Structure 1
Amino acid sequence: MEYVGRVPAPPLDGFIDDIYCLSGVPRHRRMNVPPMPSAHLFLNLGEPARLWDSDPSVPSALLADGWFMGVWTRRFVVEYPAWVRLVGVHFKPWGLSPFVDMPVSELRNRWVPVDDVWRRSLDRIRNQLGDVASAVEAMRLVEADLRSRLAEARGLGLVHHVGRRLEVSHGAVPIGALADAAGVSGNHLAAQFKSHVGVTPKRVARIYRFARLILSVDALRPVDWSDLAHAAGYFDRAHFSREFKDFTGHTPTEYLALRRRFPADPGFPPDSGPMPAE
């Protein structure tokens, strides 16, 4: 399966990490996806994909056209069709808010059809994308559509500023210090994050910290989990072990064994965090 991605031009790059195309035969049909510091838009141009929540009380969903996913605080499983063709957008944790006219908290840990968010837009977008064969042109069309939808979100300046501090520090800055530096209370900062991200800044920091850890694993070399955990900001080994199992469904040893059995394709970013679901 081929992955082609690019960072959009300003001002979209302040809200979006990348726009990308996936196409071809997936090496692994079912992928276990841990929490990552992003929200998502998927525009599916191929056969339906199925998603499972790690919460067993949530029924699976077969999604044929397109869907939004807000920030996830737990893992989920995606099953690709035999042939994949989709365009995706990785929003920064705070990046979805200016593009949707609804509380982003309603998208947290959920998949929601695009037409439930962008009324009567999906067919038009998919028709445009279906007429182009080039991944570059498909990404250009999606970028242009997103640029036309970008709206000012009241209060996002504070969240954007603090979110960027969490991004560049990989979640290692104390939230209290960020609130003090911004001249606001911790409760006000948490309320703004819940409004524009769907989760608290402390939760965002945890996800950034975990992402730093998981993306630093080099499965081709011996792995010292204590050193990696400490470098990522985990100072309690028991807490690290619990969070790792909660986020991935595996112990660190089990996860490393999977990474070694199923090595990532060079230059294929989706393999950096998600792993085949056995």
Structure 2
Amino acid sequence: MERVDVDLATTAPHPALRRFVRYYSQRRIVPGDDLQEPVTARLGGLFEFHFESLYRIPIVGTDRFESCAPMLVVGPITYRRLQLTADGTVESLTVMFHPFGLYELFGIPTNLLTEHAVEAHSLLGRSISQLYATLGEARTFPTRVRLLDQFLLKRLYSKSRARDSHWARSLALVSQDRGAHTVRELAASLNISPRQLERRSLEFSGMTPQTMARVARFVHALRVKRASNHRRSVSWTEIAHASGYYDQMHLIREFRLMGGATPTALTAQLQSHHGASLLLRPSAWGKAFNESL
């Protein structure tokens, strides 16, 4: 485990944004050795702004790395693709969206972003570059939170999403179901065709309903494990059944794909300041989502 000095701050967005945005986080990490952070499967996209050293990303098939852009739009992830590294102080600010929040606020089909990180200006234009410059001048987390709220609220009030709200509410049921029902059964319960459900799922979440359910199971299992560490010890077999896996072997296979390691090894790798760990904190998404409709 690497030696790091971490300054971490997280907060919820403005109440009007809580249906779309899970949290804002700011991390300042001073590594004693090279910093390494696993990137695991997750629902939802994010904005990430970097103000000091940039993460290095391995180039597949080589022993070389490339640096990420200072500001990024990152899509959802369906499997563990890489591990981020850095050899200098990292100061990053993250906007973590709920599964459909990025699409609902910005109208970008999420399937175009799945497994990818895109330089933010090329996707969102001058407004995001202006925001980045303003955030860089602001030195405190509360000031940066106000700037993010202002930027996203302006976007929220600039367009109507009544039709999107209906689809987001329907697809939320798919995510919460975690594979307990077939796509055909879910489509029938929503009075739509399976093909229509799959098309909308790709557009809103960047994944098919089946993949969305698998990632939701994976994250749920990690969340149950994290919660159990603060109470009684819970076995992986119990977690497998509680999360919707057939058995423990099914859970292990999915963890190897989505987390890149066995369940025990992955939970040992994840540190409290990693982005994957921040996603395991309890979310008020369901309550905020329903109240906003």
The whole-number CA distance in structure 2 between the counterparts of 1:92 and 1:183 is 24
Q: State the 1:246 CA deviation.
A: 0.8
2:65 corresponds to 1:66: no
1:127 aligned residue (124, 127, 133): 133
Offset from partner CA, 1:51-73 (integer Å, 9 cap, x none): 348x659x854124101111111
Of 64-73 and 161-170, deviating more is 161-170
Letter in 2 for 1:249: G
The whole-number CA distance in structure 1 between the counterparts of 2:79 and 2:102 is 19
Count of residue pairs brought into register by the alignment: 266
1:229 aligned residue (233, 240, 243): 240
- Unaligned 5+ segments in structure 2 are 1-5, 280-293
Match of 1:8 in 2: 13
Match of 1:144 in 2: 150
Q: State the 1:104 CA deviation.
A: 2.2
2:193 corresponds to 1:188: no
Offset from partner CA, 1:233-270 (integer Å, 9 cap, x none): 001444322211111111234335x35xx7x44xx573
Of 29-38 and 234-243, deviating more is 234-243
Offset from partner CA, 1:217-243 (integer Å, 9 cap, x none): 256875521111111000144432221
The whole-number CA distance in structure 2 between the counterparts of 1:253 and 1:196 is 32
Alpha carbon RMSD of aligned pairs, Å? 2.9
> Is this contact kept in 2: 1:19–1:143, CA < 8 A?
no
1:215 aligned residue (209, 219, 223): 223
SS at 1:38 equivalent:
coil
Of 165-174 and 63-72, deviating more is 165-174
Task: Give TM-score scaled by structure 2 length.
Answer: 0.79
SS at 2:101 equivalent:
coil
The whole-number CA distance in structure 2 between the counterparts of 1:164 and 1:18 is 18
2:35 aligned residue (26, 29, 45): 29
> Is this contact kept in 2: 1:166–1:172, CA < 8 A?
no
Match of 2:109 in 1: 103
> Is this contact kept in 2: 1:67–1:114, CA < 8 A?
yes
The whole-number CA distance in structure 2 between the counterparts of 1:61 and 1:159 is 38
Q: Larger % of helix: which?
A: 2
SS at 1:21 equivalent:
strand
Offset from partner CA, 1:56-110 (integer Å, 9 cap, x none): 59x8541241011111111132224521222111111211113435432211100
Task: Give TM-score scaled by structure 1 length.
Answer: 0.83
The whole-number CA distance in structure 2 between the counterparts of 1:172 and 1:157 is 24
After TM superposition, the structure 1 = structure 2 runs for residues 33-48 of structure 1, keeping only pairs within 5 Å, are 33-48=39-54
SS at 2:126 equivalent:
coil
Letter in 2 for 1:74: Y
Q: 1:45 to 1:227 in 2, by over 3 A?
A: same
1:205 aligned residue (205, 208, 213): 213
Q: State the 1:171 CA deviation.
A: 5.6
2:164 corresponds to 1:159: no
The whole-number CA distance in structure 2 between the counterparts of 1:89 and 1:156 is 21
Of 103-112 and 73-82, deviating more is 73-82
The whole-number CA distance in structure 2 between the counterparts of 1:45 and 1:153 is 33
Q: State the 1:167 CA deviation.
A: 4.9
Q: 1:273 to 1:134 in 2, by over 3 A?
A: closer
